[in-house]
Every structure is written in structure tokens, then in C-alpha cells.
Structure 1
Amino acid sequence: MTYRITAPQQLETEINLPASKSISNRALIIYALSGRKTMPEHLSDCDDTEVMINALRDMPETIDIKAGGTAMRFLTAYLAVTPGEHTITGTERMRHRPINILADALLRLGADVAYEENEGFPPLRIKGRQLQGGSLEVQGDVSSQFISALLMIAPGMEKGLTLHLTGDIISRPYIDLTLCTMRNFGANAEWTDNDTIEVKPQPYTAQDYYIESDWSAASYWYEILALSKDNEAEIRLNGLMDGSLQGDSVVKYLFSMLGIKTSFSSRTRNVPTTVTLRKTGLVSARLDYDFKNQPDLAQTFVVTCAMMGVPFHFTGLATLHI
């Protein structure tokens, strides 16, 4: 099958962006832990979120998360504190992605987690139980999803959780996003030092919740506009928030150096609004950036800079090899 893709001569459009997968998956776990039966509003329609919705709704003995990496990590922690016995598995590729950092941390907290096949990899057999919590040390240079998985189940632990992160902490904005979402549901969770997070033993409060649109998805529309030959082009993106805690919201600052201006229809915090993108014609001679906190944006900027002929030097890409 052959696809022919042709750029339009003129570009003027309005886009309803998909919901943030990062927020959706966090909100789903917290909703379940809070005892809420109805789902948050404006959930992502990605595969990761779909498998999580199905798992939390049906809770089968064997939970197949397919290729959902986020679902594997978040549900592993959730099952460890939820009554019942389950096996969590995935695709062949997923069964070769290491889970030992999270599983070992849960074991140290008293969880009942066992490897079904290969040590350190899914599938896992998990028997849910009440965890005592306490103090735990975890590497800071691992996926923030391991850290977020532990944080989200901490409010229900008898002693809460004090999490010490060692070494360089990568993807810190995603950890902050987790803590913010937890606090929105009544958790007492905060940084007490540059490398320490404390979560008090204080259960979640069930409430309504609206999911912001996805800044990662917005990045591709920024790219389309940056590469467009139409100097009068305009793209309107719906559902984004000013002051967003999504790490990839930095895209608006980075693309300003590639000639794109971002305007918010409203700057009321935590209220979804429309963002308008236009060209400025002012493009930096070079782009240097450390993507340690926004690794998902690196590919977009590699392609954009290459297509625009803008020299670049990008660092902080250690997680991409995974």
C-alpha cells in the first residue's frame, strides 16, 4: 500500500486535541483507589488508557495490558494494594521490558509479588494486601512511571510513604504531575527536600475530575505549522490550560525559538481553553536543549530542526534507549 502525503498551500484549522494520556492514567488509578465508580471526564482514547479502563472495570484473574507500558507499571502497584489475586501480562515485547525496579520496591514494602516466568520481567502474579509503608529508597534516574506508581498507592499505606530518590532525578515534571493529581483528590503529598517526597497516610476523596488535553499531541501541530510555507497560517488547539503541569507544555517555549507564537484565549488556571498558533518569522540560528524532563518531545524537535535546517544539540535522552 502506498500513501501520498501532500502539504496544503494554506493552513487554517481548529483541532480538538486528545486528552492527556499521562493525566488520564493517573486519574484512573486514583479514582479506583478513592472508591469512585464513574470515570473522569475527557479520558484519553489511547491503547494504554483503554486497557486500564477494561482492567479496572472487569478485574479479570489474568490482566493483559497488551503493549501498554504505563498500564503495566501503574496496575502492578494498584494490584499490590487491592484485594484479590491476579496475573498481569502483556505482549511478547512487554514481557521483555524490565519491571524489577518497581517489583523489588513493592516487595520491600511488604507486597506479595512473584515473577511467573523470567526474573525481573512480566508476567507477574500479585496478591493484594494492606501495605505498611514507611521509608523507601529508589533510583531517581529510572522511569518516572515507577516512582509515580509507588506514590499513587501511598495514601492508603498504614504509615504512608517517605520516598528518597538517589542520583540524578529525570522526568521530574511527571513526578510533579503525579503529586498534583494526588492532591486534587485530597492526598497529602509533597517534596520535603530536593530528593525526598513524603506522602501522609490520608485516603483519597472521590470527586469529579476533568482531564486536560495533551501537550505531547499539540507538539505535532506546532511542527506542522513550523514547516508550513504559509506565512499567514493559523492553528487553534482546544482543551489546553495555561500553567499546565504537563512537562511537555514546554513545547510552547521551544517552538517560540522556531518562529511560532502561542496565544491563550483565557489564562485562568486549571480551566481548559483554546490556544492559537501563528508564525512570527523569527527563527533562532541554533537550538540547544536538555530533554531530561521532556524526553517524548525529542523526536519532534529532531525532525523539525532537520527539516528547517536549524543546527541543534540535544541532550538528556538517556531514557530513549529503553
Structure 2
Amino acid sequence: MTPVDGPVHSAVRLPGSKSITNRALLLAALADGKSVLRDPLQSDDTLYMFEALRSLGVDVTLTDAGDFEVIGVGGAFSAPAKSPIFIGNSGTTVRFLTAAACLAPAGSDVVLDGVARMRERPIRDLLGALISLGVDAESVNGHGCPPVRVRGGGLPGGKCLLRGDVSSQFLTALLQAAPYAKQNVEIEIVGDLISKPYVDMTQNVMHAFGVEMVNSNYRHLTVAAGQRYEGREYDVEADASNATYFLAAAAVTGGSVILENLGAGSIQGDAKFARVLEQMGCDVDFGVHIAVRGPQTLKAIDVDLEAIPDTAQTLAVIAAFADGPSTLRGLASLRVKETDRIAAITNELTKLGVGVEEGRDFWTITPPAAGQYQPAEIKTYDDHRMAMSFAVAGLRLPGVTILDPGCVAKTFPDFWERWEKFFYTAKQQ
């Protein structure tokens, strides 16, 4: 990386949201009729979902305009064309399809498998909930992680319990499949539900495709049987999680960034990351377009990120340039992401001379005394968010080398081209 020679100033357009694209792909696949998804994200994660749905008999095509056209199967997948269905390290794909795979024909098995890291990512709680709802499902290796096998034949439905403290994607997976159950699906959350904004996003996308669910204070969630998704044209929002790196660039350089295609009306919780930057002294316009102007000095912060965990790595790097120690809390779910993100950030920020105290679900991050940062090669652990977060450090510090930069293809294939365009090629103002 090459440090910039002053504040960056740019207006940024971003690709579509991974979280919304994969939700909309699945719901369009289950729907009656044709759907067109406008401006979807095309990345490793969404293309794994795309290809998996095709393996289950869904007619999904990519148009010349970059849209996804989906001919829905009316809630009934075909027997898989291949087994196992390979889904890389896409958490949304494996979790969403584990719940929906029971909609394959009776007697058919759907097996989902991925890379080595996927075989370490827990899915036991989702399998347990599905079994309670009458589905024949198992972890093939018996260790509560993929590969998973799901027997087709439908979703009987009923009541189930689900832990809320591992991943909100388990809940989303159950909710999305629930309309095609034989009886109402009632889910009771055990403990506190993390990442609630993602459940709100799920409800919003389900509503857009014609299905309603009842959310009683994130404790009891119910979907009435007999509802059906309806095909439609659907515009995918820009990705708010990926927007955080560009807003961070303004924060750490004292510059300004405007997000041209993301604003306060976003259905994504991560759009509120700008409000966290406001607490650090940034000037934030949270309107039709989100805009951030960085301060001369960033303030240290103590903040709970349980609701927006995908922003945590970005904020950890920003905190390395604050005026004192910052504590980031509510990070337990980071242990079971693409890598153990808590350990990974600790390892790599430490290389830069930053002090990091790591706990089960927090960091305390202390910038080095007198700005004595160190050059370092940054490992990315095959985690797209590690690479993009440390691109922010590279705007400020000489000697930052990011290893395996291509891992960004998981959610943002042209990240580096856009980063250069917006912050290096454009004239500095």
C-alpha cells in the first residue's frame, strides 16, 4: 500500500449488498413467477448461491445488464443435480439452503459442503431447530458443522427453540423457508438475539416478496403457513458493510466521502456505522446520501457492536489512529466468521505497533506512543474483511503490505480498482 499525501475527498458508488442479494435470490427462487433482481452483487458468495439454486432446478440467469433473472419454482426444488453442492466459505448460502433444502422432493438428499474453514463453522443449532420442525437433517461428520445432509419432502412446521447468541443467520434461514411449511412455524429465541438489524432486513425482504412474519420483541417469531412468495422486480441496495471502508478513509485522513447510492433509508443496520464515526468526532450527514468528513483528531470510543458485527474490523483499524484507548464490545460472533476475527485483528494490529487487549468478545485498542507505528505484512486469513480493513491503515502508514489481496472476491471483487480510483487516481482536493 502507498500512503496518501493528504486528506482524501471522493464521491463513491458501491456494488449491491451481499446480504440482500442472497436473501432475494432465495426468495425469488421459491416464488411463483419470474423475478428480476436489479443491481445485485456479483461476488463469490452470491455466485455460490446462484449456482446452488441452479443445482436445485431453479432457472437463474445473469443478464447482459448485470441483473439476475429468476424463474421461481413455487416452493418446490428439484432433486439436486450434483452432490455435494459446493458453497465455498459462504455462510449465508450454507445456512439459508440448509433450511430450504427440505423443499426438495421426498426421498432426495441435499448435501452442502465447502472449504476447510466452512467445516469449522457451527451449524448445530440450526440443524436442531429443523429437526424440531420435523426435518431429517444432520451434520455428516457428526461435529455440528458442514457438510450437512438434508432429506427432502417438505417442512412439517410447528414450534422450535433457537439460541440467539451464535448467528442471526440461523433465524433468517428458518424464517425464509417457513411460508412453505405444512403448519405455522413458531420460533422461540433462547437468550439474547445478536445482530437484530439483520432480522429486520430479512423481514423487509420477505415482505417485498409478499410474505409476512410476526416479530414479538425478537423473542417469539411466527410465520403463518400457506403464504407464498410472489415474483417481482427488486432493486438491491448498495452494500452498507462494504461502505464502511470508504467512510473510514475519510475518518483516518481527515477527508470527506459521500456515498452516492446509500442513505438513511437503508434497510441495512450497518448503514448506522456512520453514527459510530460521529461519536469519534466525524461530521456526519445522514440523509439521502450518507456523507462523512473526518476530524483533525479522532476521539477514542467505547462502543457495543453486537448489532453491527461486520463493521468491527473496520472500526478496530480506525481506533488505531484515535487519541487514546478504545474498547469495542459485543464481538462474540466474530469468533465463528470466515476466520476467528478477534484473534486475527489482534495479531495483525499488533504487528503495526498497536496495543491490543483481546477478550472473549472485546478488544481494547491503544495507538502506539508518539505515533511509533511499524511496517508490516498483513495476513488476511482468507477473510475479505481483513484485507479491506487494513487497506484503511495503508492510506496512513508506510510499509503496509496486504497478503492475498484477492480474498476480497468473496463480497467485493473490484474493491482494489475502486479503492485506487476513488483515493489515488482522483485529484486530491
Match of residue 51 from structure 1? 48
Match of residue 20 from structure 1? 17
Q: How many residue pairs were aligned? A: 308
What aligned pairs does 1:295-310 form with structure 2 within 5 A after superposition?
A: 295-310=309-324
Distance change in 2, residues 1:194/1:93 (3 Å): closer
Match of residue 191 from structure 1? 215
Contact kept in structure 1, 2:45 and 2:90, CA below 8 Å: yes
Q: Give the secondary structure class of the aligned counterpart of 2:321.
A: helix
Q: Render the CA deviation track for 1:262-319: whole Å, top value 9, x for unaligned.
A: 33663xxxxxxx43332455854x3111111111112211211211334312211111
Structure 2 residue corresponding to 1:94, chosen from 104, 114, 118? 118
The code of the aligned residue for 1:187 comes to V
Contact kept in structure 1, 2:8 and 2:249, CA below 8 Å: no
Is residue 2:152 matched to residue 1:155? no
Structure 2 residue corresponding to 1:292, chosen from 284, 306, 315? 306
Contact kept in structure 1, 2:256 and 2:293, CA below 8 Å: yes
Is residue 2:91 matched to residue 1:69? yes
Contact kept in structure 2, 1:257 and 1:282, CA below 8 Å: no
Q: Which moved more, 1:18-27 or 1:115-124?
A: 115-124
Deviation at 1:139, TM superposition (A): 1.0
Deviation at 1:102, TM superposition (A): 1.0
Structure 1 residue corresponding to 2:326, chosen from 302, 312, 319? 312
Distance change in 2, residues 1:314/1:277 (3 Å): closer
Is residue 2:54 matched to residue 1:32? no
Which stretches in structure 1 are left out of the alignment for 5+ residues? 267-273
Match of residue 270 from structure 1? none
Q: Which moved more, 1:257-266 or 1:238-247?
A: 257-266
Q: Render the CA deviation track for 1:169-209: whole Å, top value 9, x for unaligned.
A: 11111111111111111112021345111111211122111
Q: Render the CA deviation track for 1:110-166: whole Å, top value 9, x for unaligned.
A: 112233333422222222222121111111112000111001001111212111101
Cα RMSD (Å) = 2.0
Contact kept in structure 1, 2:99 and 2:177, CA below 8 Å: yes
Match of residue 237 from structure 1? 259
TM-score by length of 1: 0.88
Match of residue 260 from structure 1? 282
Q: Give the secondary structure class of the aligned counterpart of 2:320.
A: helix
Distance change in 2, residues 1:253/1:265 (3 Å): closer
Find the aligned partners of 1:170 and 1:264 in 2 and give their Cα distance: 24
Is residue 2:145 matched to residue 1:125? no
Which stretches in structure 2 are left out of the alignment for 5+ residues? 57-80, 337-429
Is residue 2:291 matched to residue 1:276? yes
Distance change in 2, residues 1:278/1:36 (3 Å): farther
Q: Give the secondary structure class of the aligned counterpart of 2:41.
A: coil
TM-score by length of 2: 0.67
Q: Give the secondary structure class of the aligned counterpart of 1:253.
A: helix
Match of residue 214 from structure 1? 239
Q: Which moved more, 1:25-34 or 1:109-118?
A: 109-118
Match of residue 379 from structure 2? none
The code of the aligned residue for 1:276 comes to A
Q: Render the CA deviation track for 1:34-65: whole Å, top value 9, x for unaligned.
A: 14444411111231111001111233322100
- Identity among equivalent positions (%) equals 35
Find the aligned partners of 2:38 and 2:99 in 1 and give their Cα distance: 24
Q: Render the CA deviation track for 1:2-38: whole Å, top value 9, x for unaligned.
A: xx42214352222221211111111111111114444
Is residue 2:193 matched to residue 1:172? no
